[in-house]
Amino acid sequence: MQSENSKPKRLGKTPAERGMVHPDFHLEAGYLAKTLALLQKCLAAELEKLDQTHQSLVEAREELQDNLPASPNDADKRADTTQALNVLRAQAAAYQAIQYKIGQYQRMEPAPYFGRVDFIETGYPSESIYIGRGTLIDPSDGRIRVYDWRAPVSSLYYRYGLGKAFYQAPAGEIHGEVTLKRQYDIRNGELAYFIDTDINIDDPSLRYALSQNASPQMKAIVETIQKEQDQIIRDMDSELLMVQGSAGSGKTSVALHRVAYLMYRGLTSRLAAHHIIIISPNALFSQYISQVLPDLGEENIANLTFDTVFAGLDAGRPVETRAKQAEALLSNPDPAAAALDRDILAFKASSVFCTLLDRLVWHYEHKILSFPDFYCNGHYIAQRAELKEELLRDRVSLPLTKRLAQIQERLLEKIHKEKKERLPQLEEFVSNFPDHQLEVRSFARLLSAKRSASLVRAAQKITEINGLSVYRLLFEDPGLFRRLSKGLTLPDNIEQILEASREKLTADSLSHADGAALTYLKLKLDGLQSYPDIQQVIVDEVQDYGPLHFALLDRWFPNARYTILGDLCQSVERPAPESLFEDIRKVLHKKKAASVILRQSYRSSFEISRFSQRFLDHPETVEPFERHEGAPEITGFPDRETMDRALTEGIRKYRETGCGSIAVLCKTMAEANGLYQRLRGRHALRLVTEDTPNVGSGTMILPIYLAKGLEFDAVLVYSADAGSFSSSDDRRLLYIACTRALHHLSLYYAGEKSPLIK
């Protein structure tokens, strides 16, 4: 990625530049040349095949057009149309398959492979297995010259050093011995260098890869996947895979490579892109990760945010976004009020609150919801007790509103029947009036409609349930809350929580937490549409959610397996409970659940990672990768004006060193916007908001909570003073901010330095 005012500067030397030239270099260069020649041959063959298939596709479309029946009753033509349509579908599928293979070959052209293992299977001769981003087969003899990184045999490269090894093949475990493990750096079809290694895909290849500049979008990491990451990617047994990882441990990237692996395996298990969904924290993050799967040659998958879900809630008022929730919390000048807001968020995301909402629905159905008597033509067509009994009789099978709709339909049928039976009597009655002798039937029908109109309105009204009104009962009736919460463990300040919640529910917009709760309640009442076709759900930044959110996901995607990823140290709005992953496991109730912890942090330099650990309660849980660069800089200034001038100089310095992406991180959006307005004339700056379509490159100013999950060559933390960062919640913010930096980190403060940076 290129900076705005300077040419890109490569950070770090290649192993070849360090004199690491292997004696087999010429042999490997020759093999590469043969592989590239085969790749070009296969690519040319597929391009020719594509032209032929395109022509067949055109002919199939023409045949279908010719066989369209002129009349729906033409049975012979319909049969011909069906046959032509099947041919067209087959041709379209073949065309897409060829396009996929062409794309794979084109992605392999710059570097057809990146690794090799020599493996002696027990009882067989040694085989050299070259591993790349796709498969390359020699059509002359059917031999695989390059294996896809997701192939079962490729796990040897990621999981083993020299010595005994095995891999899981469709036929079972294949045992043998790895006698050579080699890593390549191939650039634009030229072999730059290669090295032999014993254990991990590690020094110096990984160090060199990590020393490069950040990209505007997350990139694939197939060349540097580590053993513990590969085990996550290839896990096919777990119905719930929970990944806890430190900042920069590659959680998100591993999850996306896991998606690519699942889709690769989906060739046999019929798992396609439309069977997988990612739950992202925000749209900016969704865009940032959007290139990984296309880089791997796979179709992108759907991204969903809770902001999108709540925007379609139809609660009569808008629901604030997660970013606005974070902004309100972090910009609150009253520490006590902010602490109460955090307690509200924690309570309304908890399993206790889920139970309260479940009990509220039961109470509403049994104790509050009532029916009128339906009386017509001198008798009851339905009595309230009968209707209530009917409603509760079907409680298990259908949600409330659907049961009410069924009752309403039966009532309307009875009203219509009574209306027809009453009509002859009304006609006789009207015939006694001379003024209506010429309109007996029509006037009788008019009278009948008027008499039944009130019954129809009453029947129609029984399905009108206002979810927000039901939700408000929980907070507006203290006696009801006490009864519903009996036996539950409530926060010590529950009365304050209830009072503050009542006030929030009178505002022009609903809070993000109330949006989640109301969505859950409406799902219980209405039975919102589920998506049974979704088989895999990836949930990132799980520390931002609670059991309530996963109760929603469990209802939306009842047949799915889950991969959830998070870091409890990176929660913004509230502390994430240590029991969070266990709480989620209980909500999703999967039989096969596994938990993995990634301690190695790869993103930041050793110095930045070590510095960031000072903001952790348990710094020993993070293992920095040994990639050394300059130490973070902490600089104080007498006032804001001087700090702004120094910040401008810091941006200029990092640009001159070749940094392509520079982030100035502020605590809040209000502070970021103010700084942007003051500096915008001095530099080519961008203000990143929740509505920014993409991160891109260059120099940008944004709040810390929007930077979570992203990375930059250089990070400048603005206004790291005692007034802005002093609490335990601020420690997490500083940890998030500092761990966004790959190569350079600076912290600026005016006045008194934050006590957290000692």
- DSSP notation for 709-734: T--EEEEEE---BTTTS-SHHHHHHH
Q: Is residue 605 a contact partner of residue 628, using CB atoms and an 8 Å limit?
A: yes
Q: Is 747 helix (H, G, I), strand (E, B) or coil?
A: strand
State the distance between the two ends of the chain, measured CA to CA, in whole angstroms.
34
Please check whether residue 566 is in contact with residue 244, taking contact to mean a CB–CB distance below 8 angstroms. Answer: yes
Cβ within 8 Å of residue 539, ≥6 positions away: 278, 279, 545, 550, 553, 562, 563, 564, 565
Contacts for 754 with CB less than 8 Å, ≥ 6 apart? 720, 721, 722, 724, 725, 726, 730, 734
According to the model, what pLDDT value does residue 57 have?
Answer: 74
Q: HSE on the CB side for 192, CA within 13 Å?
A: 18
Centroid of chain to Cα 702: 21
If you ran DSSP here, which 8-state letter would residue 225 be given?
-
The tokens 């520490």 sit on which residue? 335
H or E element: which one contains 374?
strand 374-376
**Number of C-beta neighbours around residue 568 at 10 A:** 17
How many Cα atoms within 13 Å fall on the side-chain side of residue 612?
Answer: 33
Q: Are 624 and 604 in contact (CB under 8 A)?
A: yes
List, for the chain, all residue ranges whose pLDDT scores fall below the cut of 50: 1-13, 15-20
Q: Is 678 helix (H, G, I), strand (E, B) or coil?
A: helix
Amino acid 19: pLDDT: 38
Q: What is the 3-state secondary structure (H, E, C) of 435-486?
A: HHHHHHHHHHHHHHHHHHHHHHHHHHHCCCCCHHHHHHHHHHCHHHHHHHCC
Entry pTM: 0.87
E strands present in 288-332: 302-304
3-class SS of residue 187: strand
Backbone torsion region of residue 172, taken as left when φ is above 0, otherwise alpha when ψ lies between -120 and 50, otherwise beta: left
Tokens coding 201: 């895909």
Summarize the chain as % helix, strand, coil (round to 5): 50, 15, 35
User: CA dist 554 to 202, 231, 313, 347, 584, Å?
Assistant: 39, 25, 18, 20, 10
C-alpha 306/C-alpha 243 separation (Å) is 21
The answer to whether 216 and 713 are in contact (CB under 8 A) is: no
What per-residue confidence (pLDDT) applies to 266?
74
